[in-house]
Amino acid sequence: MELISHLSIGFGVAFTPVNLLYAFAGCLMGTLVGVLPGIGPPATIVMLLPATYALQPVSALIMLAGIFYGAQYGGSTTAILVSLPGESGSVVTVADGYQMARQGRAGPALAAAGLGSFFSGCVATLVLAGLALPLSEVAFVFGPAEYFSLMVLGLIGAIILGSGTILKSVGVVLLGLLLGLVGADVNSGVARYTFDIPELYDGIGLVVIAMGIFGYGEIISNLGKHESERKVFSAGFKGLMPTREDFRNMVPAVLRGTLLGSALGMLPGGGVTISSFAAYAVEKKVPLRKGELPLGTGNIRGVAGPEAANNAAAQTCFIPLLTMGIPTGAVMALMLGAMMIHNIQPGPMVLTRNPELFWGLIVSMWIGNAMLVILNLPLIGLWVKLLTVPYRWMFPAIVIFCAIGVYSITNNTFDVWIVSLFGILGYVFIKLSISPAPMVLGLILGRPMEENLRRALVVANGDWSVLFTRPISATLLAIAALLLIIVLSPSLRKVREKAAAQG
């Protein structure tokens, strides 16, 4: 019953015309940018962040969540229609989705993705609403040692579930942590690694670094490639609605995907990508019914399962951020950054101090999902047209958007110089096949990790074993170790390598 009263607070906040408008605008803009290949959700969010600066915190978060889902969703549309996954979560959708499109069944494939995502989004929103309170109560019994171990687990999760080789991801996480330490030390006030530049005393902004690495790095890399022919699919749709038979195949796949995605999404590492791969692997194992095409040749289950999974994961990955204040992936780190711009410190306190914001955001997730179905299915033609816009018109606009975004955070040109530097670093990362996403997470966790470790060790008189003797802390570290062991096992390694090769 408590849940209902909470949700009604949320509906009260989210159902105001203004916030509905921002949710709509977020979904629209997110999809718009998300359908562009090579621009994943993190880049989309940093690019569109400035559009939310002037808004009220609640509206800003609602719009950002909309942008995130839109980006996610736009990626699957292009995966099906033109075999170009807009983001890594829809890489597996290409296999069956594009085959279906080639067989003239693009309509049902898109509908399966849309309806599957909507259903799983609804379920995952309920999971989020139901788990938020108990989990945030858990957060209150956490001491510094527990927080430190939780962050270690989060980083290990990000390393494992991300793409890229493990050792290089460890390196890039450490690099992020170190960059996060730049600026004045909270304890002693000593300015670290600032080279006497006053702007660096407050540290390097997360958005600035993310903008450089995701925004500029990708533009430079795209310009360096030869313009590849875009295979725009032009054959007409024969209706959007799946047949009865399609529904019969799709429903169980959606249910399985929802379950998998909701569970994997909560894991540290924000398993949006991995959950779609896992869902596809499961669908492959399920025996074929009579008359069903094998997976990989245009089976609707191969679209519905992964799409349901990645959308469910996209919702539940908010759980650790909202309840513990700990982001689990690059996108969540950016959401945290955006919250801090609006002076909100996410964590268990948000629930008690700012329930309107919390429940409003949760309800708006559901609204966002509904909007995406309404928005995307009729507008598919428009999204496809967008793909025919030449890149040479697109990238100057992206450069300008990023520049305005960076400059308007603090109205200081120093950030503009820094973003140039990180743009070059982003390109270096792409050239060296270093996956940048874990770095963003490290960046935001650098200071809190140091602070919690420091406090834990002060209490324990410098005895490191405190991390292993306190039960919750020990459990968290054990899970981290277990994850490492599992990932080195051959079967999961294959999935990871496949994910890395394609995304």
Partner 1 sequence: MRIKSSKDFYSGLLFMVVGMGFAWGATDYQIGVASQMGPGYFPLMLGTLLAVVGLAVLFQSLAVETEGSDLIGSIAWKPVCFITLANIAFGVLVGGLPSIGVPYMGLMTAIVAVTFIASYGSDEFRVKEVFILAIVLAALNYTLFIWLLKLRLPAWPVFMSH
**Minimal distance in Å, beta carbon 368 to partner 1?**
21
Classify residue 267 by its DSSP letter. S
The C-alpha atoms of residue 358 and residue 385 are separated, in whole angstroms, by: 37
Q: Which is nearer to partner 1, 118 or 216 (CB)?
A: 216
**Minimal distance in Å, beta carbon 433 to partner 1?**
5
The C-alpha atoms of residue 405 and residue 338 are separated, in whole angstroms, by: 12
Measuring CA to CA, which residue among 342, 84, 340 is closest to residue 232?
Answer: 84
**Minimal distance in Å, beta carbon 481 to partner 1?**
17
Q: Which is nearer to partner 1, 135 or 453 (CB)?
A: 453
Binding site residues, partner 1, CB under 8 A: 50-51, 53-54, 165, 167-168, 170-171, 174-175, 177-178, 181, 185, 187-188, 190, 192-193, 216, 219-221, 223-224, 227, 391-393, 395-397, 399-400, 402-404, 407-408, 411-413, 416-417, 419-420, 423-424, 427-428, 431-434, 449-450, 453-454, 457-458, 460-464
**Minimal distance in Å, beta carbon 188 to partner 1?**
5
**Minimal distance in Å, beta carbon 493 to partner 1?**
15
The C-alpha atoms of residue 124 and residue 118 are separated, in whole angstroms, by: 10
Tokens of 85: 């996954």
Measuring CA to CA, which residue among 47, 119, 15, 23 is closest to residue 375?
Answer: 23
Positive or negative torsion for Cα 86, 88, 94, 96? negative
Q: Which is nearer to partner 1, 245 or 497 (CB)?
A: 497
Tokens of 418: 């820094």
**Minimal distance in Å, beta carbon 222 to partner 1?**
8
Q: Which is nearer to partner 1, 134 or 490 (CB)?
A: 490
Residue with tokens 């951020």: 321
Q: Which is nearer to partner 1, 49 or 264 (CB)?
A: 49
Angle subtended at Cα 65 by Cα 429 and Cα 368, rounded to the nearest 5 degrees: 135
**Minimal distance in Å, beta carbon 175 to partner 1?**
6
Measuring CA to CA, which residue among 154, 66, 63 is closest to residue 342?
Answer: 63
Q: Which is nearer to partner 1, 243 or 413 (CB)?
A: 413
Q: Judge residue 91's burial from the number of C-beta atoms within 10 Å of its C-beta, 0-12 exposed, 13-18 middle, 19 or more buried.
A: buried
Q: Which is nearer to partner 1, 217 or 257 (CB)?
A: 217
User: With contact defined as beta carbons under 8 Å apart, do 329 and 437 qualify?
Assistant: yes
Which residues, 6 or more positions from 411, have their beta carbon under 8 angstroms from its beta carbon? none
User: With contact defined as beta carbons under 8 Å apart, do 215 and 36 qualify?
Assistant: no
Q: Which is nearer to partner 1, 10 or 423 (CB)?
A: 423
Tokens of 468: 């292993």
Measuring CA to CA, which residue among 273, 252, 240 is closest to residue 93?
Answer: 273
**Minimal distance in Å, beta carbon 281 to partner 1?**
23
